[in-house]
Amino acid sequence: MNISNETQGELVKTLAELSGIVMKMMEVSEDNMLSWLKNEMDDWHNFLKEHLEIEELKSLEKEVNDRFFFKYNVGIEPRKLNYLRIKTFEKLIQQFYIALH
């Protein structure tokens, strides 16, 4: 079974929003974690564009969840952008859950 093109579009849009926030943070912060996150998000974006199968996307959902809860759920300056990054990450996780369960 596949997710709809609309759902895929919403996930891609949120991922692009998150990527934009990370890019803004990289302009003012030299934290290497931002570069790692940006590279992973690029990979996630490419995978998401090529896959609609729910079972395949569950592996991506697990990876996104693991990265958020075990790697990227830390404070990075500037605080205002970091708050947006965390909230957008949470939004992406919620969208994955709704789409796949």
Report the interhelical angle of 54-67 vs 79-100 (nearest 10°): 150
Q: Which domain holds residue 53?
A: 5-100
- At 10-29, the pLDDT tens digits run 999 999 999 999 999 999 99
pLDDT tier for residue 89 given thresholds of 50, 70 and 90: very high
Q: What is the number of domains present in the chain? A: 1
Residues, the chain: 101
**pLDDT tens digits for 22-78?**
999 999 998 899 999 999 999 999 999 999 999 999 999 999 999 988 888 888 888
C-alpha to C-alpha distance for 98 and 7, rounded to whole angstroms: 10
